[in-house]
Amino acid sequence: MSIYIYIYIYIYIYIARNSCFISPSIVGVDVVIATPGRLLDFLESRTTNLKRCSYLVLDEADRMLDMGFEPQIRKIVSQIRPDRQTLMFSATWPKEVRSLAADFQNDHAFLNVGSLELAANHNITQFVEVVEEYQKQTRMMTLLENIMNQAECKTLVFVETKRKADDLTRAMRRDGWPTLCIHGDKNQSERDWVLNEFKTGKTPILLATDVAARGLGKVDGNRDVDDIKFVINYDYPNNSEDYVHRIGRTARCEKKGTAYTFFTPNNASKARDLIKVMKEANQAVPPQLIELAERSSSLSTRNSGKRYGGGLKRSHGDRENGISKRSRYDGPYTASRKEDFWSGGPQYGENSGQW
C-alpha cells in the first residue's frame, strides 16, 4: 500500500515595480523569491513583513556582496526572527562572505564541493598579454582574425562596463565582425534572442559584462552553453576569483579551451594573484607580467607607511576610453528586433555567406 501526501506551497515571484499591483497577491504566500532591494521596498512600505519567516536562503552571496547589496541584506535579516534557519550559497569563499556567515549563522555547518584553493581548469590554455589601454582594441581584432578562421570559433569577450560593451560592439559591427552584446540594460526578450543567436552559432562573438554573463548558464530553459571555445578578458576583472570563473566558461564537459587576457599597468596590483593561478595550472607566465608584479610589490613596500597607500594610480578615464573616438555614439546600443542588430554590417550564419 502506498500513501501519497500532497503539500501545496504558494510561491510568489515579484517582477513588477508598483506595489499597489501586488499587495493582494503577496499576502499569505509561503515562499517569496526576491532581490534584496525590491524586498526591502515591500518591508519599508509595510506591504508585507517577515515576522513569521523561519527559513532564509541567500543565493549567490558573493555576487550580491560584489554588487553592493550588503546594507540591504543586513536590513532584511534584522527583521527576521532570530530562531530562523539560514542557508547561504556562494561560488567563492572570500573573507567578506565568511564574515557574513559568522554574523547571520550560529554554529553553522560548512559544506564545500571541490577544492577551496583557487584553481583554474587545467584543460584551459591561458595566454596573458601586457598592453596599454589604448592597444586593446587593435590587439583583439588581430586575435579574432585568427580565431574566426578556425572551425570552432565561438568566443565570449568580457568587458568592464555596460557602456563599453555597447561602444565596442558598435565599433566591431561597423568593421564587419559578427558580434552582439548582453548586459543589464537590455530587456529580457532581447537577452533571450541574443543568447539564442550565440548558442546556435549564428553570431559567434558575444561581448558581456560579468553579471549578464551569468545568464549563459541556461538558455530558454535548456542545457548550458557548453561549447564556448575561446574567452577573451578585454578588461581584467576585480579579483582572481572572477578571473577563474570567467575563463571557466570555456573547456566545459572535459573539452579543451583557450583564454586570452589583456593586462594593463593599471591592473598591476592583481598581477601576483594572476601569476599564482597560472603557475598552479602549469601555464607559461610572460616576463612582462612578472616584471609588473615585482614593480607593484616594490611600490607597495615603499609606500606602506604612507597614509595614501601604495600601488599604481588608476585613471578613471580608462573605464571608457579604451576604444577610438570614431566608435562613440549618442545613446545606448539596444535593439528589440533582429534586423536592428544587423544594420550596417554583413550577416554571419545560415544563408548569409562569409562575413
328 has a pLDDT exceeding 50: no
- Residues in Cβ contact with 268 at an 8 Å cutoff, skipping those fewer than 6 apart: 292, 293, 295, 296, 311, 312
With cut-offs at 50, 70 and 90, classify the pLDDT of residue 53.
very high
Higher pLDDT: 347 or 138? It is 138
Instruction: DSSP for 3-67, please give it.
Output: --------EEE---S-GGGTHHHHTT-SEEE--HHHHHHHHHTTS---TT--EEEETTHHHHHHT
pLDDT at 353: 36
Average pLDDT score over residue span 184-196: 89
Mean pLDDT of the chain: 80
Reported as a single tens digit per residue, the pLDDT across 195-253 is: 999 999 999 999 999 876 766 755 554 556 889 999 999 999 988 888 998 999 999 98
pLDDT at 188: 84
pLDDT at 209: 92
Average pLDDT score over residue span 18-47: 77
pLDDT at 66: 75
352 has a pLDDT exceeding 90: no
Average pLDDT score over residue span 6-21: 52
User: Alpha-carbon dihedral of residues 342, 346, 349, 351, nearest 10 degrees?
Assistant: 110
* Annotated domain spans of the chain: 11-104, 124-342
Instruction: Give the C-alpha separation, 230 to 124, whole Å.
Output: 9
| 32 neighbors 39 (Cβ within 8 angstroms) | yes
Q: Does domain 11-104 have CATH number 3.30.70.270?
A: no
The single residue listed with the C-alpha cell 558580434 is: 179
Instruction: Give the C-alpha separation, 15 to 326, whole Å.
Output: 38
Residue type, 8: Y
Q: Strand 257-263 to strand 230-233: parallel, antiparallel, or no bridges (unpaired)? A: parallel
Instruction: Give the C-alpha separation, 65 to 238, whole Å.
Output: 13
312 has a pLDDT exceeding 50: no
Q: What percent of the chain lies above the pLDDT cut of 90?
A: 51
Average pLDDT score over residue span 108-137: 91
How many CB atoms within 10 Å of residue 259? 26
One fold for both 11-104 and 124-342? Answer: yes
pLDDT at 340: 40
> Among 3.30.365.10, 3.40.50.300, 3.40.50.2300, 3.40.50.150, what is the CATH number of 124-342?
3.40.50.300
Average pLDDT score over residue span 304-327: 41
Instruction: Give the C-alpha separation, 198 to 155, whole Å.
Output: 9
